[in-house]
Amino acid sequence: GNSVTQMEGPVTLSEEAFLTINCTYTATGYPSLFWYVQYPGEGLQLLLKATKADDKGSNKGFEATYRKETTSFHLEKGSVQVSDSAVYFCALDTGTASKLTFGTGTRLQVTL
């Protein structure tokens, strides 16, 4: 079946540090891949997406590249801010009934 594996958190960084959150997946076919972000006390919202191999999704300074050869979709940001503190979820959509499969989430804490 489909699955998503994310690195364990929490991840604690100082402001302006470089961020990487690893995500690998197992899926049949050619899934679309997503990163969702959940700010404290809120629901999830889409951060970025990639729908085919080698696509790069980007938004708010975050980037992730769809690597089919390594089945990965790692999230990166060159300089994090305190306001980036949140839980980040990697997810995939194989197109079956439009359901998403989520990873367990990675909590990011950015300090001054």
User: Is 72 among the residues that bind other proteins (CB under 8 A)?
Assistant: no
* CA distance linking residue 64 with residue 21, whole number of Å: 10
User: Is 79 among the residues that bind other proteins (CB under 8 A)?
Assistant: no
Tokens of 68: 């089919």
User: Is 43 among the residues that bind other proteins (CB under 8 A)?
Assistant: yes
Q: Cβ of 102: how many Cβ atoms within 10 Å?
A: 15
User: Is 56 among the residues that bind other proteins (CB under 8 A)?
Assistant: no
**R_g over Cα of the chain:** 13
User: Is 57 among the residues that bind other proteins (CB under 8 A)?
Assistant: no
Question: Which of 46, 56, 68, 78: binder of other proteins (CB under 8 A)?
Answer: 46
